[in-house]
Amino acid sequence: MAAIRIGELSAGLGLPIKTLRRLADAGAIPSHRTEGGHRLFDPDAVRAALGRSATAETPPAASPDWRRAEKLDGLREDVVWAAVASELGIDPKTEGGRIAAYAFTEMLNNAIDHSGGTSADIQVWRSSDAIDFTIADDGEGIFAHVRDGLGLATELDAAAELTKGKRTTMSERHSGEGIFFTSKAVDTLRIAANGLRLTFDNTRGDFALGVDTSTAVGTAVTATVSATPTRTLRQVFDQYTDEDGAFARSTPTVKLFGAGVSFVSRSEARRLLDGMDVFREIDLDFAGVEDVGQGFIDEVLRVWPSQHPEVRVTPMNMNEAVEFMARRVARPPVT
């Protein structure tokens, strides 16, 4: 099929031009530019990319083993989980049971306290291999909620903020740790809202950000927990907490915080590290980043750390070009 302009693609898919442009910038959908700088798309390739995003990590096709529609007002997540565990025979003493209990109650609590909705459809699947659950509320959508609560420009910016940890729109009641630790503890976590889908896949050590066309209202969170996980909940907490049990370490993924795979400006660096002074250790994950500008790398590895000496910033997964720029920042100036 012939390549088409973004306006034609938008009309054909029923998706906003702005959303398609940002997904292309982030590398979530394929595109190429003409010599004149116009971006063109192969609609079949784009549909294939969106199809992979839409079908990745979906819950089991079979009917759920447990399902309820619950009013959120006055709902207690621990009571709901107790009913699930009792009816499905989930042993709270197993590691899979512990992780599932933590993830389920954290995600349902998010719907209760943050969604702005009135009800949630809760589904759970139980097999010998895994525990899967989906919690779908009828609220405003998590990415729009975080965007407005933190004063961000777009829902894509909000998705990036969720990877930091300790980012909450209700600091008097929440620490902002629930989604972060859940995303590290479960096998897979998928958050769909506001036309976007953010997926964490710990079985492959990967994440994905793409279009969601299945969640018309609110937020749908889907998680999979292995019945025999390779990590314990305690190991997950220990990896990101200090000796006193405080959440002290974060691993933000740089690629989620910009358009495309190149980072040049100091303003991009400042946005990446905004709010990160609450941690003692920050591992900056440069996986997928092709090149950086001197201003960006100087800000994240020299200027910001000098302003926050109590925080240790460590870059990781750098390619040769990024590592070269990092070495230049670390090298003392010639006098």
Same domain, 190 and 78: yes
Considering the domain architecture, whether residues 289 and 199 belong to the same structural domain is answered as no
If asked whether residues 126 and 268 sit together in one domain, one would say: no
Mean pLDDT of 276-300: 80
293 and 208, same structural domain? no
Q: What average pLDDT does this structure show over 30-39?
A: 82
Q: Are residues 258 and 130 in the same domain?
A: no
For position 296, what pLDDT does the model report?
82
pLDDT at position 26 is 65
Which is more confidently placed, 199 or 118?
Answer: 118
**Claim to verify: residue 91 and residue 149 sit in the same structural domain:** yes
Say yes or no to pLDDT of 322 above 70.
Answer: yes
Looking at the fold, whether 141 and 201 belong to one and the same domain comes out as yes
Distinct helix (H) and strand (E) counts, the chain: 13, 14
pLDDT band at residue 31, thresholds of 50, 70 and 90? confident
Maximum pairwise Cα distance, the chain: 73
Number of other residues whose CB lies within 10 A of the CB of residue 262 = 14
Asked whether residue 261 falls in the same domain as residue 211, the answer is: no
The answer to the question of residue 242 being in a domain is no
Residues 135 and 99 grouped into a single domain: yes
Are 13 and 212 in contact by the 8 Å Cβ rule? The answer is no
Does residue 218 share a domain with residue 70? yes
pLDDT band at 82 (very low <50, low <70, confident <90, very high): very high
What gap in Å lies between CA 205 and CA 155, rounded to an integer?
24
Q: How far apart are CA 86 and CA 64, in angstroms?
A: 15
- CATH number reported for the structural domain that contains residue 321 in this entry: 3.30.750
Whether pLDDT at 174 is above 50: no
Residue 40, domain member (yes or no) = yes
What is the number of structural domains in the chain?
3
More confident residue, 85 or 38: 85
The predicted pLDDT at position 131 comes to: 95
Asked whether residue 254 is domain-assigned, the answer is yes
Q: Identify which has the larger pLDDT, 172 or 105.
A: 105
Mean pLDDT for all residues in the chain: 81
Do residues 92 and 170 both lie within one domain?
A: yes
| Residue pair 168/178 in contact by the 8 Å Cβ criterion | no
Confidence band (pLDDT; 50, 70, 90) for 165? low
Pick from 237, 265, 285: which residue ends a domain?
237
Q: Does residue 38 carry a pLDDT above 50?
A: yes
Percent of residues, the chain, with pLDDT higher than 90:
30
Q: How far apart are CA 321 and CA 319, in angstroms?
A: 6
pLDDT tier at 175, thresholds 50, 70, 90: very low
pLDDT number for residue 172: 45
* Listed range (110-114, 118-122, 254-258, 281-285) with the worst mean pLDDT: 254-258
Predicted pLDDT of residue 326: 85
Burial class (CB in 10 A: 0-12, 13-18, 19+), 173: exposed
Residues 6+ apart with CB under 8 A from 199: 53, 56, 57, 188, 189, 190, 191, 207, 208, 209, 210
pLDDT band at 267 (very low <50, low <70, confident <90, very high): confident
Domain that holds residue 21: 6-51
165 alpha carbon, distance to own chain's centre: 10
pLDDT recorded at residue 255: 57
- Report in angstroms the alpha-carbon separations of 234 from 55, 213, 240, 296: 31, 36, 10, 35
Q: Are 236 and 184 in contact (CB under 8 A)?
A: yes
